Amino acid sequence: AAKTAGRNTLRFFDPAMQAVVSARASMEKELREALREQQLRLHYQAQVGRHGELVGAEALVRWQHPQRGMISPAEFIPLAEATGLILPLGQWVLRTACQQLLIWAKDADSAQLTIAVNVSARQFRQLDIVEQVLGILQETGANPQLLKLELTESLLVDDVEDTISKMEQLKAAGLCFSLDDFGTGYSSLTYLKRLPLDQLKIDQSFVRDVLTDPNDAAIARTIVALGQSMGLSVIAEGVESAEQRDYLASQGCYAYQGYYFGKPVAIAEFEAARIKTFAS
């Protein structure tokens, strides 16, 4: 019995678990450094309209790690959320996206392009998020009308009144809002209809098999119909083929994002691909 108890006690000092804990701690330290040492990068992915015209881009963060190379946000956003580093990281993303808007503003062919920025629930729950966003807009001189914030349904599980009030203040300044990964979260339609949204974004998990899985097709169709009846635009993410785009268009979805139109890339590549791919 003593032996068993000893073994059970020892489980807490499992070397594998300790490795996980210390890997997390060192990644947190490195992510802090990444912010300080400017190792974060923004990649841009085209958002396309009805006739294949470029309407804007989604800004997606990457971590250019000095040893490990480019790290995807799926690997560090959860840690950033858990540690609170998402707050300075989110500000950096917003500021960088706004600086890009200002660069585009000086070029007639680009002056109408929008940028969509992902804002995590923890970030949006900050008491002063409205002041932060407006401050960054003011400081950079970017046009608020060209900045779209992508929120997720996780904001609807708690203080909805607070979320609505912040959204309204930002909308009054000209920003617009898209609900990202729509259909994967917990939103109740009661709350959804009260949010001052501009756009629903069909999650890529429904787009992937939209041509072969009748359930996914039904969900995509339903989101489009819901958006239409609520007066919201609908954009599909994860569009990888012309056939998917055509199906979505046949259901009334007229805005798209996905590898078919372009992968997320650094701004120089985005500008280069644009000349080849999109009519201006």
118 near Mg ion, judged by CB under 5 A: yes
240 near ligand C2E, judged by CB under 6 A: yes
Binds Mg ion (CB under 5 A): choice among 120, 180, 197, 262? 180
Binds Mg ion (CB under 5 A): choice among 181, 197, 224, 251? 181
69 near ligand C2E, judged by CB under 6 A: no
Q: Do the strands 176-182 and 199-202 form a parallel or antiparallel pair, or are they unpaired?
A: parallel
227 near ligand C2E, judged by CB under 6 A: no
- Are the CB atoms for 26 and 19 separated by under 8 Å? no
Binds Mg ion (CB under 5 A): choice among 80, 86, 113, 150? 150
Q: Which two tokens stand for residue 128?
A: 């002063």
Helix ranges (H only) for the chain are 2-11, 15-36, 73-83, 86-105, 121-124, 129-140, 160-172, 189-192, 204-207, 214-230, 242-250, 267-277
47 near ligand C2E, judged by CB under 6 A: no
Residues between 217 and 246 with contacts to Mg ion, criterion CB under 5 A: 237
The one-letter amino acid at 229? S
Partner in contact with 258, chosen from Mg ion, ligand C2E, none, beta carbon below 5 to 8 Å by kind: ligand C2E
153 near Mg ion, judged by CB under 5 A: no
274: Cβ contacts below 8 Å, ≥ 6 apart: 46, 54, 280
56 near ligand C2E, judged by CB under 6 A: no
The one-letter amino acid at 97? A
Q: Give the dihedral of Cα atoms 150, 154, 155, 159; nearest 10 deg.
A: 180
Q: Which stretch binds ligand C2E (CB under 6 A): 2-10, 31-39, 233-241, 266-274?
A: 233-241
In the complex, the residues that contact ligand C2E under the rule CB under 6 A are: 45, 60-61, 72-74, 77, 90, 93, 118, 120, 150, 180-181, 204, 237-240, 258-259, 264
In the complex, the residues that contact Mg ion under the rule CB under 5 A are: 118, 150, 180-181, 237
